[in-house]
Structure 1
Amino acid sequence: LCVLIPVKYLATGMTYLDMSTYFGVPKTVCHSIVDRFLLSFPKRYKETWVRFPTRNDMAEMAAEFRNARGLPNVIGAVDGTHLQVRGINDYRSEYYCRKQMYSVQLQLTVDARCRIWDYVVGWPGSAHDARVFSKCALFNRMEKGDIAPYHILGDAAYPLKDFCLAA
């Protein structure tokens, strides 16, 4: 279950409540397992399973977004969430977030089929989505023009840039 639950969550976007029913375990157990999995996901696997798209990938991703959502030249959507953590001893206030809990940030960038092609995990919960985004490797690559002429979508927390369309 320690691998099945996170894989099901990442592959389908299934809610914790639905996964709870599916796997026959409490919702809190699903949440805890997913959090632990994402926090321990080794960097070497990121390069194997989660990779920056090639130019051909980008063209396909843009076509998928256009076909599914009517959005031209969009190759991804980015957003952040909080993974609740316990046992924070140092810098406690840094990890206390607006959701009234101690957390670390998880930022995901996905394609039109919700496949993850970039993630950042580990920033303290008090960090704003825009700060996490502006300090990540993906942002630096996009600033250099690595996805031009394409764009990603973000909510109002994200900066409006040539490469990032904020809602």
Structure 2
Amino acid sequence: MNNFETSSSSSSDEEFIYTRRPKVYRKRTDCFEKYDELDFYQRFRLKKQTVLYLLDEIKEQIQLPTNKGGCITPLQQLLLTLRFYASGNMQIIVSDFMGVSRSSASRIIKKVSIAIASLARQHIRMYENKRELEEAVEKFYEIASFPKTIGAIDCTLVKIDSPGGNDAEIFRCRKSYFALNVQTVSDAKLKIRDIVVRWPGSVHDQTIFNNSSLKQKFENGVFGQYMLIGDSGYSLKPYLMTKLQQTRTPAENLYNESIIRTRNVVERQYGLWKRRFPVLRFGMRLKLETTMAVIVATAVLHNIAIDMNDNFTEEDEIEEDDEDVLPPMENNPNIAENIRNLIINEHFARL
């Protein structure tokens, strides 16, 4: 008998009989007690006060029906999920850190992410009244004197595993990896005012905007004469200003300089968002539905952190790496060009 042959005797079979491993309840660290504010922040990317506020918001949704055995408390579930967002590591590493099984970690990350994402209507919203609109315009004007602006729009790629199936290749982005193309609108404080998380990485930024409810609101005049600003990948619209491809006058140069500096807030927002939650930079090996929930959940946390002054230090804030600017899919100037010319001639020519 060679080394690759196996015996068919009953004694040999008995050696390989599967026995269920006994359930082990691991000792779980009290992270609030173990870590001071700085160490806690470095591991979970939020301050203790912010975590407690968030816990109150979602506790009922993630509370387990029993406290028997090794029940994982809502706080432990939340910290495990935050650790996953903050480390960008595989689930098994996060599960070991928090003292739970890998399967439990997977279920917890999905459940807590959905619970946090459910707060999006409360924490991610466009302006609801004239006072909020005027405050937004004032904050943007302070950056580089660009008028009537209430948001900077752009898209960013979030790396994912191949979702599989016949349509998997539509998720392959122009940088050759699988991704979701996520659209956001940033305000002057770097808060996310609108987010769209459902499009594959190969889809053009303009297509995402064209199919968004946000565009319909602007088309229907919900925001009056106020505007968004975007890069050259977007078509010029009466409510969406883009820079000039060529400039001939000092006023046109000022216009371009102003729109570039003002639009920079959305790049800084992406940099801050991804730096706080590295899972957005390193990619996610999760089911597509869970990945989308994680992206929205981290956007909610990003806004909550800003509202609670849970901010990064200056050296932590970085801009997102420059991405290739896609050519616009359509460009119907007419009224939009007239509005842009009016802004240049009536505003920037007088600065």
Alignment TM-score > 0.5, same fold:
yes
SS of equivalent residue, structure 1 residue 152 = strand
Hey, what's the Cα distance between the residues in 1 that align with 2:90 and 2:239?
Answer: 34
Q: State yes or no: 1:47 paired with 2:126.
A: no
2:179 aligned with 1:80: no
Mark the CA change 1:46 to 1:31 in structure 2 (over 3 Å): closer, same or farther.
Answer: farther
Tell me the equivalent position of 1:64. Answer: 139
TM-score by length of 1: 0.75
Structure 1 residue corresponding to 2:208, chosen from 132, 145, 167: 132
Whole-Å separation in 2 of the counterparts to 1:147 and 1:123:
25
Displacement of 1:153 after TM fit?
0.5
Name the residue aligned to 1:149: 225
Q: Deviations over 1:45-83 (max 9, x none)?
A: 110101120221111000111112211101110000111
3-state SS in 1 of match to 2:119: helix
Looking at structure 1, the residues matched to 90 and 158 of structure 2 have their Cα atoms a distance apart, in angstroms, of 9
Identify if the C-alpha distance between structure 1 residues 31 and 51 changes in structure 2 by more than 3 Å, giving closer, same or farther: farther
Task: Please give the per-residue CA displacement for 1:94-144, whole angstroms capped at 9, x wherever unaligned.
Answer: 100001100011111011111111011120000000000111111111111
Structure 1: which amino acid aligns with 2:192? I
Residue 30 (structure 1) shift: 4.4
Aligned-CA RMSD value: 2.8
Partner of residue 121, structure 1: 197
Flag the 1:32–1:45 CA change in 2: closer, same or farther, 3 A.
Answer: farther
1:72 is paired with a residue whose SS is coil
SS at match of 1:80: strand
Unpaired runs of 5+ in structure 1? Answer: 8-24
Specify which structure has the higher proportion of strand. Answer: 1
Read off the aligned partner of 2:221 and give its amino acid letter.
G
Alpha-carbon distance in structure 2 between the residues aligned to 1:123 and 1:115: 21
The alignment-based identity, stated in percent, is 26
Q: Distance in 1 between matches of 2:90 and 2:220?
A: 37
Is 1:95 the counterpart of 2:171? The answer is yes
1:162 maps to which residue? 238
Q: Distance in 2 between matches of 1:162 and 1:135?
A: 17
Cα distance between partner residues in 2 of 1:29 and 1:89 = 25
Q: Distance in 2 between matches of 1:32 and 1:151?
A: 41
Q: How far apart are residue 4 of structure 1 and its match?
A: 3.5
2:53 maps to which residue?
Answer: none
* Number of equivalences: 143
- Superposition TM-score, scaled by structure 2 size: 0.37
The equivalent residue for 1:108 is 184
Going from structure 1 to structure 2, the CA distance change for 1:31 and 1:99 (only over 3 Å counts) comes to: farther
CA shift in 2, pair 1:145/1:43, >3 Å: farther
